Each structure stands twice: as structure tokens, then as C-alpha cells.
Amino acid sequence: MQSWPSHPVPRVPGTPRPLRLYDTSTGEIRPTAPGATARMYVCGITPYDATHLGHAATYLAFDLVHRVWLDNGHEVHYVQNVTDVDDPLLERAARDQSDWVVLGMREIALFREDMAALRVLPPRNYLGAVESIPEIVEAVAKLLSAGMAYRADDPEYPDIYFAHDASGRFGSVSNYDDPTMREFFADRGGDPDRPGKRHPLDALLWRVARPGEPSWDSELGAGRPGWHVECSVIAQNRLGMGFDLQGGGTDLIFPHHEFSAAHAEALTGLHPFARHYAHAGMIGLDGEKMSKSRGNLVFVSRLRADKVDMMALRLGLLSGHYREDRAWTQEVLAEAEARLVRWRAATAQESGPDATGTITRLRDHLSNDLDTPQALRAVDAWADDALSGSGHDRAAPVEIRAAVDALLGVLL
Ligand code: 5CA
Ligand code: ZN
């Protein structure tokens, strides 16, 4: 799958700060400690509808991780998937009497445009589930022969399930108790009541072909992959075990990230799958989580068509902390637009107050679990001073522009 266009990231004067990030599995803010190449996997979209502001906010959070690592001199190996075959996509295509392949391709194309417009740095590997089927089949076959997976007791559709406790570490990502796991499993794509399973929490690895559904021939028989194994295999085969960061929204903590880790750890006997699990809060609208199923969506492409400046959108989505559930409102956008105008005016001046302290504060706040509200306020303070005419450093506007571009991804 083709990724989207990149753009150069300027160097920022001064001293970088290593990134500390909240880790869901340990419940604390810990240093990320990548080697020369930082390895990050962020779960991609299921392309049955356009990118909404919730998706965008989540990808922006991990874009900042990417940028802080680059600032620290790391190469970043970033991998993202596209769930280009799964029940929601097939259901939407059936509802609209359209072809699921065409629907997926259209939404993926739009997503790429949205990401490029928002200046999200692209992944090095951007992979669809469909193109990854051979490697997924290989992994499922291994789990089956190791006795960690089994065929459902159903002569008609002997789907393959993962024995949830096969890694011996099930629960180590989410730390949820059993009732919470059962609730989320049922709500988020699981099938606890499927007859023929050995345990309600066992997760689907391979769905045997049904009439009217797409399927692929394989040594497992014709069928299609389950969801968690898709990300588990794509990540593992590009980044290896123990990669630096697995990311997504909080709705992916369980079952998705718990199972992606459990599959990989069972398969390899190694731990951990990822050294950090980071999750972005949910963006809501009118008091509810923005979601395709609720239909309360604001699309990035709609705002683009309405000529909203994508840099203002970026600033608006970054004005709240990534871990907070937060609401999108017209006021958030209006404030971001006003902020962008001020920053542009301040950096368009020939000189301004010395930028060193501001850039240090910007780095400090970002390295502290991506504290964007504080980071934006640090730049506000510089812009206010500059606009009030204080300071005559002729390098400062250029340096602030470079820092805001490189670290926040905002082009002034
Ligand atoms: N394809 C799977 C991941 S492998 C998936 O969850 N796709 S998705 O299109 O539903 O979501 C894509 C990403 O956006 C996920 O990380 C998800 O957690 C995040 N996301 C979805 N809704 C919101 C929201 N309202 N606010 C913030 N992030 C969201
Ligand atoms: Zn995923």
C-alpha cells in the first residue's frame, strides 16, 4: 500500500529533550528509550468512512512522538496498517450496495490526502490486511500447530481461534479485570457467545469463508484474517519484538492491543511485544464519542472543502492534551484560528525576543508526555511579546518558525 507524501523537517537550534510518555501497561509516565532507530506501530483506519477529527487527533498525537524522536536524532521506523477487509467495511458496502474494494480504496485515498494536508509524517511501511494475508496465514498456522490456537467446534464453519491465555501474559497490556474484559470484548468486535469456542474471550484468527463474503485460499482453507492478528503480524514482521511503541486510541486498549501482544508473545515466546503502549483519548461531539457507528462525525475532508486552514485544525486538535477525552467545538476551531493568525503575524516580523528560552520550554513540555497545551502557551507568550514590540533578535522569528514546524508540525 502506498504511503502519503512527506516533507522536510527543519533542524531546531538548542538541545533536544528525550521523550517521556505515559505507558498504559505500567500506568506510569516513563522514558521512551529508543536505539538509533526508534520503532513505532500505530493502528491505522478501517476505511469504510472518511477520516474524522477523532482519527486525526490520534494520528497527530503519534506524529508528535515521531517529531520528538527525530529532534533527538533518532531515525524513526514507523509502520501503520489499513484494515482493508473486516466486518464493518463489508457491512457498509452491503448497506450502500457498493463494492467493498472500491469503498475501501476511495476512503484510503481520502485518508492519505487528509494526512498529507495535516502534515502528518508518513509511515515508512503502510500495509493493508489483504496484502499481508500470506504472512498472517503463516503465523496462524504456527499458532495452530503449537496448540495455541484451535478450530471452533462447528462442522460447517470451523473458524480458528486463539486460546486467549496461550502467552501466559494475557492482561499485561490493559490490566483490566475479567468483567471489564468481557464487557469490552463484546462491545468492540469480539464474539463471546459464538458456539464452539472453548472460552468466551478467545479471539478470532481466521474466519472460514462464508457464501457472499470475500475469502482467500490458503493452507488454512479459504477464509479471511481476524483483526488482532493483522496488526500483530504486520508489526512483528517489520519491527521485530520489543519495538518502542504501539499506539492507537483508548478504544483499542482491549481487546485489540491486548490480543496483538498476546498473539506475538505466544508465537515467539518473547516479551514484550512493545516496550510502550500509548493511547490517545476520544474526541467527542455533542457529549458523545465521535464514531462511525453513532454518525456524529466531523470529517477532515469536509473541513478541507470548507477551506478551513489545516494548520488551524492541527492547532485546535493539539490544544487539548492527547490523553484527555475532549470535545470538538466551533470555539476550539475559532481559538486555533486566532492563535495561528497571531503566530503568523509574530513570526512575519523582522525581529523578536530571543527564542532560546521559548524553544527550551517547547521541548520540555512536549517531552513531558506530549503536554501540548503548555507547549502552545509557551509559543503564545513569545508571540505576545514579539507583537508588543519587545526584543530585537533578528534570528528569533526564523528559529520559532523552525521549532513550530519541526516539533508541532505547524507551518506558519
Ligand atoms: N483499523 C482499526 C485499528 S487496527 C481501527 O480501529 N480503525 S478505526 O478507523 O476505527 O480507528 C482508527 C484510529 O482512530 C484508532 O486508533 C482509533 O482508536 C482512533 N479513533 C477512533 N475514533 C476516535 C475518536 N473519536 N477519538 C480519537 N481517536 C479515535
Ligand atoms: Zn490495529
Q: Give the per-residue pLDDT at 305.
A: 96
The pLDDT confidence band at residue 297, using thresholds 50, 70 and 90, is: confident
> Is the confidence at residue 181, as pLDDT, over 70?
yes
Q: Which of 251, 263, 324 to mutate to test the pocket of ligand 1 (most atoms within 8 A of CB)?
A: 251
Whether pLDDT at 403 is above 70: yes
Pick from 7, 68, 10: nearest CA to 40: 68
| pLDDT tens per residue across span 361-375 | 999 999 999 999 999
pLDDT of residue 365: 98
The pLDDT tens digits for 196-253 are 999 999 999 999 999 999 999 999 999 999 999 999 999 999 999 999 999 999 999 9
For ligand 1, atom 12, name the residue with the nearest CA. Answer: 45
What is the C-alpha separation between 313 and 334, in angstroms, rounded? 10
pLDDT of residue 411: 98
Residue 290 CB less than 6 A away from ligand 1: yes
State residue 285's pLDDT score. 83
pLDDT for residue 292 is more than 70? no
Ligand number nearest CA of 296 is: 1
Closest CA to 51 of 98, 95, 106, 88: 106
248 lines ligand 1 (CB under 6 A): yes
Q: Which residues of 249-281 are buried (b: 16+ CB within 10 A; e: fewer)?
A: bebbbbbbbbbbbbbbbbbbeeebbbbbbbbbb
What span, in angstroms and rounded, lies between the C-alpha atoms of 29 and 25?
11
- Bridge partners of 277, per DSSP, are 246
* 287 pLDDT above the threshold of 80: no
In the reported structure, the alpha carbon of residue 319 is separated from the centroid of ligand 2 by a whole-number distance in angstroms of 26
Q: Which amino acid is at 162?
A: F
Distance of CA 290 from the midpoint of ligand 1 (Å): 10
Whether residue 294 has pLDDT greater than 80: no
In short, whether 163's Cβ falls inside 6 Å of ligand 1 is: no
Nearby residues of 265 by Cβ (< 8 Å), 6 or more positions away: 167, 169, 241, 271, 272, 273
Q: Which atom of ligand 1 is nearest to the CA of 252?
A: 18
* Residue of 111, 252, 290 best suited for mutating to test ligand 1, as the one with most atoms within 8 Å of CB: 252
Q: Strand 203-208 and strand 288-289: pairing?
A: unpaired
User: pTM here?
Assistant: 0.97
- Mutate which of 24, 45, 85, 321 to test ligand 1's pocket (most atoms within 8 Å of Cβ)? 45
CA 76/CA 151 separation, integer angstroms: 39
Ligand 1 geometric centre to CA of 299 (Å): 13
> For helices 100-117 and 53-71, what crossing angle results, to 10°?
50
